[in-house]
Structure 1
Amino acid sequence: MLDLVQLRSFVTVQQMGSFTFAAERLGLGQSTVSQHISKLEAAIGRRLLARDTHKVVLTPDGEALLGHARTLLSIEGQVQALFTAQRLRGTLRLGVSEDLVASRLPLVLEDFVRSHPSVDLELTVALSGLLYEMQDNGELDLVLAKRRLGDSRGRLVYREPLVWLARDPEHVLSLAALPLIAFPPPSVTRSIALEALERHRMPWRIVCTCGSLSGLTAAARAGMGVLVQPQSMSPSGLKEIGSLPQLEDVEFVLIPSKGADRALVSALSDDILNKVKGLR
């Protein structure tokens, strides 16, 4: 019989791409997670994980097991929820800024959905400014988004420095006007970047505008210009530019809506506050 604890470690290692990050995620020692994987491999009689140059990856046998492991863990969550005294039910409309969806936040949401199968989680991904507008219009129950320093709205999750990024910093710095790759207004990072350049009277031009972070990242990797992102969310293949004006930090905050189901909002807010820092 397969051990659910070992399966959870296996799935988490796959999600995080690292034994170290998986151990932090699970609140266990790295050696304990390694033992779980070794015992699972021994029970199945197959090698499930392998290391490439950057991270831990699944073997073909690991790929074959992954879907079944997720199903078993999902069933476990449903059974636990079935016999929980205060079972959460209802619909929760969550708005999340584009940056965070590209990070490891989906892992937190996956855990929440698994633990609360009677909750329908509706996710909206957009720029922070648009999420605030939707919330004001009563379209969202909870928002996880960016705010500027000095803005008092919301409950602080964490503060993050912004950085300038480019594929070839020397090339973009040699141009007469700094080529910028940015979200459209109302974008917090766009406003901060433009204000920093204006303060230092540096010429600039927008070479790419896109509402999708994947689109902006593709443009930056193609060498089109400079992208501004939270430091922990810097896409691979891009280098930080330290010689440009220093950027103001941003803060990620949780903002509940008045009239939203308090139990649902509190449950998800607590999950995010407790877990999201460890996933950065």
Structure 2
Amino acid sequence: MIDLEQVRTFVAIVEAGSFQSAADRLGIAQPTVSQHLKKLEEAVGHRLIERSRAQAIPTEGGTRFLPFARTLLRVAERAQEALTDGEFVIGASSNIGVYMLQPVAAAFRSIVPDLRRFDIRIGSNQETARRLEDSEIDIALMEWWDDRAGFDAKVWREEPIVVIVPPDHRWARRAWIDKATLMEEPLIGGEPGTGTARLLQDRLGIDIAALKSGLQLGSTEAVKQAVRAGLGVSVALESAVREEIASGVLVAPRLRSARLTKPLYSIVPSHAPPGSPARKFAAFLPAAAA
């Protein structure tokens, strides 16, 4: 069995850099720190810390164990919060969390006044899925889902996808473009793992391998700036570029014979009770997004 206090001590040693500093941080004696680490190493069957007079650093095994140790502590904290003050935590992928979630979350809070603690954690789609599996969040809002066991997923919104170009681009004054035209320009990529490339393949029949790959920037904000600078074109959730299109700094030419939409998912652990905040929020989402 892995003891959480021993895990907490191990993390403190790594973060503080020495046994004495870890002891000061935890408010315990230095020999107790050493004892905690020794018992943890015995429990996991690996040496976790290289000891020296000057510094304590994780071994190769300790480095591999560290992210799991931190996850164990986060999950333990969430479990305690669930029993005490009823914190409700929403996890959202970056585009949803930045451009869509706040008004919906505010409306939900207004109709559930007994929700004492409320938090939103924004990250990549992969990070949000990991947080859901590790019980760090109560519900996930994501741009894809892979139907893994133990979770209930529903589409709560179909969000339009638009092509974006700068106002001086040759496409900006065209009434429409087709998929062949779209493949002429380098396509700037945003956050990986959003499923946009597969959407283009499934809905438009575009061969992903034939697309001209542009910059891969990791976020929609960076993509918008790159498109404005003339570094290529891109596709984005309409909600993420609505203000730029309205102000004229970006233009969204229409795709011929196609209105692309991306399904957005709400995912709740299957064991969540019907009256839980996660279930209530999942039921609230479709009407709020309408």
Q: Structure 2 vs 1, CA of residues 175 and 101 (structure 1 numbering), >3 Å: closer, same or farther?
A: closer
Cα offsets for 1:83-121 (capped at 9, x unmatched): xxxxx9511221112222333431221233454364322
Q: Post-superposition shift, 1:176?
A: 9.3
Partner of 2:186: 179
Q: 2:214 aligns with which of 195, 206, 209?
A: 206
Q: 2:278 aligns with which of 241, 265, 275?
A: 265
Residue 234 of structure 1 aligns to which amino acid in structure 2? V
Q: Structure 2 vs 1, CA of residues 110 and 116 (structure 1 numbering), >3 Å: closer, same or farther?
A: same
Partners of 1:154 and 1:175 in 2: CA distance: 32
Q: Helix, strand or coil: the match of 1:163? A: strand
Partner of 2:113: 116
Partners of 2:279 and 2:183 in 1: CA distance: 50
Partner of 1:227: 234
Residue 215 of structure 2 aligns to which amino acid in structure 1? V
Partners of 1:182 and 1:201 in 2: CA distance: 14
The question of 1:250 aligning with 2:262 is answered yes
Q: Structure 2 vs 1, CA of residues 265 and 153 (structure 1 numbering), >3 Å: closer, same or farther?
A: closer
Contact 1:108 / 1:276 at 8 angstroms: preserved in 2?
yes
With structure 1 as the length reference, what TM-score do the two structures score? 0.54
Contact 1:200 / 1:245 at 8 angstroms: preserved in 2?
no
Partner of 1:157: 156
Q: Helix, strand or coil: the match of 1:271? A: helix
Q: Structure 2 vs 1, CA of residues 142 and 243 (structure 1 numbering), >3 Å: closer, same or farther?
A: closer
Contact 2:92 / 2:123 at 8 angstroms: preserved in 1?
yes
The question of 1:132 aligning with 2:129 is answered yes
Q: Helix, strand or coil: the match of 1:220? A: helix
Aligned residues: 189
Q: Structure 2 vs 1, CA of residues 92 and 116 (structure 1 numbering), >3 Å: closer, same or farther?
A: same
Residue 264 of structure 1 aligns to which amino acid in structure 2? P
Partner of 2:66: none
Q: Structure 2 vs 1, CA of residues 204 and 246 (structure 1 numbering), >3 Å: closer, same or farther?
A: farther
Residue 209 of structure 1 aligns to which amino acid in structure 2? L
Partner of 2:199: 192
Question: Structure 2: any 5+ residue segments left out of the alignment?
Answer: 1-83
Contact 1:161 / 1:249 at 8 angstroms: preserved in 2?
yes
Q: Structure 2 vs 1, CA of residues 113 and 163 (structure 1 numbering), >3 Å: closer, same or farther?
A: same
Partners of 1:149 and 1:163 in 2: CA distance: 24
Whichever of the two has the greater Rg, that structure is 2
Contact 1:162 / 1:250 at 8 angstroms: preserved in 2?
yes
Partner of 1:96: 92
Q: Post-superposition shift, 1:133?
A: 3.1
The CA RMSD measured in Å over matched residues stands at 3.9
Q: Post-superposition shift, 1:217?
A: 1.9
With structure 2 as the length reference, what TM-score do the two structures score? 0.52
Partner of 1:166: 165
Q: Helix, strand or coil: the match of 2:87? A: strand
Partners of 1:226 and 1:117 in 2: CA distance: 46
Q: Structure 2 vs 1, CA of residues 221 and 177 (structure 1 numbering), >3 Å: closer, same or farther?
A: same
Question: Structure 1: any 5+ residue segments left out of the alignment?
Answer: 1-87
Q: Post-superposition shift, 1:193?
A: 4.2
Cα offsets for 1:122-166 (capped at 9, x unmatched): 212123343223323333210112238999961221223322111
Partners of 2:211 and 2:104 in 1: CA distance: 41
Q: Helix, strand or coil: the match of 2:99? A: coil
Q: Helix, strand or coil: the match of 1:132? A: helix
Partners of 2:85 and 2:287 in 1: CA distance: 22
Residue 101 of structure 1 aligns to which amino acid in structure 2? G
Residue 88 of structure 2 aligns to which amino acid in structure 1? L
Q: Helix, strand or coil: the match of 2:279? A: helix
Contact 1:193 / 1:247 at 8 angstroms: preserved in 2?
no
Identity of aligned residues (%): 16
